[in-house]
Amino acid sequence: MFTSPFVRKPASVQQVMFTVLVALVPGVAIYVSQFGPGIVVNLLIASLAAIAAEALVLWLRKKPVGLYVTDLSAVVTAWLIALAFPPIIPAWILILATVLAVVAVKHLYGGLGQNPFNPAMAAYCLMIVAYPSAMSQWPPAGWMDLATHWQHIVGGNMDAITGATPLDAMRTGVRGNATVHDVLQGNAFGVLGGAGWEYIGLGYLVGGLFMWWRKTITWHLPVAFLAGMAAISGLFWLIDSTRYASPLFHLASGGALLAAFFIVTDPVSGASTPRGKLIFAAGIGVIAYFIRTFGAYPDGIAFAVLLMNICVPLIDMKTQPAVFGHKGSNGGAS
């Protein structure tokens, strides 16, 4: 028997997660070209830690281990953590963050589909508060061979090869009364943003457009996030371009494009209504800019995501579409 052509079979969790992993490949490939193959090691370590933690918790909860482990949701969380963390982060911190994300942020709230907070971003925030020194160690763009990378992820001295991130260099330079133009002449910067990172961001953009084409995500969240960050950074840039970097710099630096397509699009912890998605994602972009520019952390996307996760119930309640035959949102309900 044939089904009508307009009736589509919903994608399974495994299919959605596999699409996300495929979409991350362009960004990972460019990451390797800019910094060496070490990020692949981090992805493997985080994936193994996530699968092991997921299987253990499912076994303790008496859930079907094979069914849920193979849905790839834990692997997606692991990849986002590995890509958001410094590439030379010691392996034990990466493993600890991944286990906390899977066990504490995901399963303590009931498992897949129940977590109110983005697991990868919650783990990032926990680690940057607990281990600020290790989480701030980023290498400059340039090829690092696997042997050198391995020395660092097992706990070697990172000080010799690390430097300020582009966002940190910009913030520190401007606070030291240098102009944006002067700061951008440093080695940490490329054509649009951080040297090397702007190309990695291009890979995430390609992956994000692939997910949009596959209808894995809608346009609302990435467009609202990027528009929110561009609008607030553009406002300050117009006020004083010598002290505030351009919107293009902010969109091409840090984790902006990774966040736009792979983090704020989390279907579980984000808003669910069309208008709510716009408010949710734009709010993340605005808050992240303020933390980047005026706060204590060079890139505040993770904190911004968690703050907006808290607001999701209120956003969803206030943005329910009108019910047919009723006036106003919520179908006229008070």
pLDDT digits (tens, 9 = 90+) for 24-44: 999 999 999 999 999 999 999
pLDDT for 298 beyond 70 = yes
Residue 141 has pLDDT above 90, yes or no: no
Least confident range from 13-22, 27-36, 153-162, 177-186: namely 153-162
Residue 160 burial (C-beta neighbours within 10 Å; 0-12, 13-18, 19+): exposed
Q: How far apart are CA 325 and CA 332, in angstroms?
A: 10
Is the predicted pLDDT of residue 60 greater than 70, yes or no? yes
Rg (CA), the chain: 20
Mean pLDDT throughout 306-331? Answer: 81
Judge whether residue 140 has pLDDT over 50. yes
pLDDT tens-digit profile of 236-267? 999 999 999 999 999 998 889 999 999 999 98
Q: Quick one: average pLDDT of 56-67?
A: 90
**Is it the case that residue 53 has pLDDT exceeding 50?**
yes
Per-residue model confidence (pLDDT) at position 32: 95
Give the per-residue pLDDT at 8: 61
Residue 206 confidence class, pLDDT cut points 50, 70, 90: very high
Using the predicted structure, report yes or no on whether residue 224 has a pLDDT greater than 90.
yes
Q: Is 46 left (phi over 0), alpha (psi -120 to 50) or beta?
A: alpha
Lowest mean pLDDT across 116-120, 213-217, 324-328 = 324-328
- Decide which of 118 and 331 is more confident: 118
pLDDT at 161 over 70: no
Confidence of residue 279 (pLDDT cuts 50, 70, 90): very high
| pLDDT value for 68 | 84
What is the pLDDT, as a whole number, of residue 331? 47
What are the start-end ranges of the H helices in the chain? Answer: 13-35, 38-60, 65-69, 73-84, 91-100, 119-130, 132-135, 146-153, 166-175, 180-183, 197-213, 220-239, 247-252, 256-258, 274-294, 301-318
Asked if pLDDT for residue 297 goes beyond 70, the answer is yes
- Confirm if 233 and 245 have CB atoms less than 8 A apart: yes
Contacts of 178 (CB under 8 A, 6+ apart): none
Size of the chain in residues: 334
pLDDT band per the 50, 70, 90 thresholds, residue 209: very high
Q: 30-34, 142-146, 286-290: which has the minimum mean pLDDT?
A: 142-146
Query: Mean pLDDT in the chain?
Result: 88
Q: Is the pLDDT of residue 334 over 50?
A: no
- Reply yes or no on whether the pLDDT at 10 is more than 80: no
Q: Is the pLDDT of residue 155 over 70?
A: no
Band (154; pLDDT cuts 50, 70, 90):
confident
What burial class does residue 133 get, using C-beta atoms within 10 Å of its C-beta: 0-12 exposed, 13-18 middle, 19+ buried? exposed
Q: Is the pLDDT of residue 200 over 80?
A: yes
Nearest to 287 by CA among 259, 318, 261: 259
Quickly state the pLDDT bin for 153 (edges 50, 70, 90).
Answer: confident
